[in-house]
Structure 1
Amino acid sequence: MIYEVNRLLKPGGIFMLITYGDPSVRIPHLNQPGCCWKFTLYIIPRPDFKSAVDSSSLRSVMEPVPLTENGLLPPEYVLQDPESHYIYFCKKMEG
């Protein structure tokens, strides 16, 4: 599927993937040989999720999640809801 999306998109085109798979699972599939993507990740908790942490200290779901150079979540990142939706915006780059 990734090869077909890569083939169809022009450079600068965006592929949006919504999944339960965290970056350690999805980024290796997206980084297929011959594919060159720039990733922006958003993590959205389930609508009925109730955090045990004070809600004023939570990150806004409208803020992209920083990724490491390898495309993984930083070690200090704390996932609020283990059953979150991961939304990957994959911009096709030249090459």
Structure 2
Amino acid sequence: MNLITAIKLYVEKMCNESGPGMKTILLDKETTSIISMAFSQSDMLQREVYLFERLDSGRSNERMKNLKCIVFIRPTKQNIQLLADELRSPKYGAYFICK
């Protein structure tokens, strides 16, 4: 199995586990590149992912409780702190943290 195929299978799994409905995906700098390498935006739209957010882009106060959030980040100290901050005041209706 090549790298692109592995990425596609992993992202498919993330999208399927979050169930049906509109989703956003929360990424860091490196995982943004990973997603971009394997999928076009229209590919992600077919998986009901309508919004791409960077964890490190600063918080918006806009709440989107109608969206599910798939979290696809690396387990760095900074990312964990930023995610903890996000979850203290959740922006989305549900979070699915990838393992």
Task: Identify whether the pair has TM-score above 0.5, normalized to the shorter chain.
Answer: no
Greater relative contact order structure (CA < 8 Å, 6+ sep)? 1
Q: TM-score, normalised by structure 2?
A: 0.30
